Chains A and B, each alone.
Chain A
Amino acid sequence: MTKELMKGNEAFAEAAVRAGVEGFFGYPITPASEFLEYMAKRMPELGRAFLQAESEVAAINMVYGAACAGKRTLTATSSPGISLMSEGLSYIAGTEVPAVVVNVMRGGPGLGNIAPSQSDYNQMVKGGGHGDYFPIVLAPATVQEAIDYITLAFDLAEKYRSLVYIIVDGNLGQMMEPAELPPMRKLLEEPPEWSVYGAKDREPHILTSIYIDPPDEEVTNIRLLKRWMEVEKNEIRYKEYDLEDAEIAIISFGVAGRVALSAVRTAREEGIKVGLLRPITVAPFPKEAIAELSKRVRRILVVEMNTGQMLEDVKQAVAGRAPIEFYGRIGGITPLPDEILEEIRRVNQNSGEMVDGMEKVEWLERLEARIERGE
């Protein structure tokens, strides 16, 4: 296979097609719309279902239906769309059917803007919809990774009968870069054993998320939690860069992590012993890897394109073993490598204690000074 130059959203859509998706249901929203547009021509070519729904509310419930029918299905949207889908996502989780959702994230809250952001971290990782459930969340940093994780997402969704989210920073959806697409995968030949396809020569299958008797719901919650514990045991993924001898560790996901890597490379040339841990699964979170890392580095710098949402998970994993600093750009702004390089240099000089919470106060001072300087 050779690499092709493709726009992110279109490449992700083709990756979904090749992963064997048989039903796409979506609603236009910037910066995710090209995914829908690509599917609009591609799916009918293959005789597969494409539908532009009347809303994200309807789109996710169509995905829910197709998932119950035992077909690979997904939707792609952007942040406000996820808010609307939250109801359906909770039902999908409660019914234990596999589905994949791509969130090409933009700035918020509210209508916000259409620039890249990571401000949906909490919404995606901590749930979003009501009830006790645990979606798997994958965070690619390149178009290629996003392509690869779409196939992985369907495999995980089917293995654990789970919701899998791919959180794509808006930049990746909109940028073009060379990437290799996977070969076309065979469609599911037989309907999954649990799905609805007609009760011929068997007992009816009922797919529901209602357990009116609390003990039944409790058992269901336990089943979901135990399944999640299996996911935590088997599916944690992250990438490490230059961490072998690192004294400073950056922890950063998605595009922020990619920009941070550029800064790490430059800082290394300057002789600063810095490395990067980039979670691929932000849920399940690489807690143990970060805990281990915190035992051998002098200082940790968390970099995000939000106000420090993953920071809370890092803090929990580090449990006070190393001082943690934070740097973020927000509102739809992507940090530049030089900004992060500056942060690395600063952190490298800093050996003081860090009182919990001060990392944000200090970051805001630096950020506001930067904004003042017009940077």
Chain B
Amino acid sequence: MAMNLVYTRPESLTKTTTHYCPGCTHGVAHRLVAEVLDEMGIREKAIGVAPVGCSVFAYNYFNHDFVEAAHGRAPAMATGIKRVRPENTVYTYQGDGDLASIGMAEITHAAIRGENITVIFINNAIYGMTGGQMAPTTLPGMKTTSSPLGRDVEMMGYPVRMVEMLATIDGTSYAVRRSLHNPANIRKAKKAIRRAFEVQEHGLGFAIVELLSSCPTNLKLTPNEALDFLADQMVPYYPLGDYKVQAEVKAIRV
């Protein structure tokens, strides 16, 4: 009986043992990006920009050129690369502390300029690498190491909904939110990532895909509980959906 190979490592991923925690969805997000790069045939011209956070070493997993930015500055660094090498495909991969806290100015102005880059935004509502502190996206009442009694919004402010905010900016062509908590949503996430890269390939400007993600270690949950947390707690606060899809972007067939 002939055997059909139906699942293999994308060429855009390297053969590296993961350093991510069990149950973390970074691996899923990495794989989706890699599959999209493969399917679009753009691995050889891709330049990734890694953030500061758990995915600081994202470049160890991707089989293409990569740079490592200062905390929050990935969109500025990506801008510098894209402006002098417009022929390359440039994307950032950033977490919520990186993108929505320290890098708020850089991401917002990249959108304002309609910078022709793709942004993969991992929102897991917590700081992972530094050990579970409150993130700009930490939910109200959520306990973290720096909000031990729970996030008091009167004292610590409210969680920020990034793609909704960025969707208000004229330079943004594509701003959507997806989740990685089950296979159906993962498939939808991949389609969004594909579209976000197509936006860049069509020269249509700034594209961001927010991916609700899980951090079992710092949420102090089992992997499955962490996925439930995504579905039950995160999705209600961060509704999934398309917040901006410009007409030209809609016209791209994915």
Binding site for B on A (CB under 8 A): 22-23, 25, 49, 51, 53-55, 57-59, 61-69, 71, 73, 87-88, 91, 95, 196-201, 204-210, 212
B67 close to A (CB within 8 Å) = yes
B56 close to A (CB within 8 Å) = yes
Q: How far is the CB of B108 from chain A (nearest CB, A)?
A: 8
Q: Which of these, B45, B76, B88, contacts A62 with CB under 8 Å?
A: B76
Query: Once the chains bind, are B44 and A66 in contact (CB under 8 Å)?
Result: no
Q: Which chain A residues lie closer than 8 Å to B83 at the CB level? A: 23, 25, 49, 51, 62, 66
Q: Could you jot down 22 A-B contacts, CB within 8 Å?
A: A58-B109, A61-B69, A61-B70, A61-B73, A61-B80, A62-B77, A62-B83, A68-B81, A69-B88, A87-B70, A95-B67, A196-B66, A198-B46, A199-B46, A199-B64, A200-B45, A205-B65, A205-B66, A206-B59, A206-B67, A206-B68, A207-B67
CA distance A223 to B60 in the complex (A): 23
Q: Which chain B residues lie closer than 8 Å to A205 at the CB level? A: 65-66
B63 close to A (CB within 8 Å) = yes
CA distance A201 to B82 in the complex (A): 21
CA distance A59 to B79 in the complex (A): 10
CA distance A53 to B83 in the complex (A): 12
Q: Which of these, A59, A197, A204, contacts B85 with CB under 8 Å?
A: A197
Q: Which residue of B lies closest to A49 (CB)?
A: B83
B43 close to A (CB within 8 Å) = yes
Q: Which chain A residues lie closer than 8 Å to B121 at the CB level? A: none
B47 close to A (CB within 8 Å) = yes
Query: Once the chains bind, are A204 and B79 in contact (CB under 8 Å)?
Result: no
CA distance A66 to B77 in the complex (A): 8
Query: Once the chains bind, are A198 and B88 in contact (CB under 8 Å)?
Result: yes
Q: Which chain B residues lie closer than 8 Å to A51 at the CB level? A: 79, 83, 113
Binding site for A on B (CB under 8 A): 43-47, 49-50, 56-57, 59, 62-70, 73, 76-85, 88, 105-106, 108-109, 112-113
Q: Which of these, A88, A198, A207, contacts B70 with CB under 8 Å?
A: A88
Q: How far is the CB of A202 from chain B (nearest CB, A)?
A: 9
11 more A-B residue pairs beyond the given contacts A61-B106, A63-B80, A65-B78, with a C-beta to C-beta distance below 8 A: A55-B105, A61-B69, A61-B73, A64-B73, A65-B49, A65-B84, A73-B80, A196-B47, A199-B46, A204-B65, A208-B67
CA distance A196 to B80 in the complex (A): 12
When A58-B73, A63-B80, A88-B73 are in contact, do A68 and B44 touch as well, CB less than 8 Å? no
Q: Which residue of A lies closest to B78 (CB)?
A: A65
In this complex, which of A49, A54, A204 has the most chain B Cβ atoms within 10 angstroms of its Cβ? A204
Q: Which chain A residues lie closer than 8 Å to B57 at the CB level? A: 210, 212
CA distance A71 to B66 in the complex (A): 16
Q: Which chain B residues lie closer than 8 Å to A53 at the CB level? A: 76, 109
Q: Which chain A residues lie closer than 8 Å to B46 at the CB level? A: 198-199
Closest 3 CB pairs of A and B: A65-B80, A62-B80, A208-B68
Q: How far is the CB of B121 from chain A (nearest CB, A)?
A: 18
Q: Which chain A residues lie closer than 8 Å to B106 at the CB level? A: 54, 57-58, 61
Query: Once the chains bind, are A198 and B45 in contact (CB under 8 Å)?
Result: yes
Q: How far is the CB of B10 from chain A (nearest CB, A)?
A: 14
Query: Once the chains bind, are A57 and B73 in contact (CB under 8 Å)?
Result: yes
Q: Which chain A residues lie closer than 8 Å to B44 at the CB level? A: 198-201
CA distance A51 to B84 in the complex (A): 11
Q: Which chain B residues lie closer than 8 Å to A196 at the CB level? A: 47, 65-67, 81
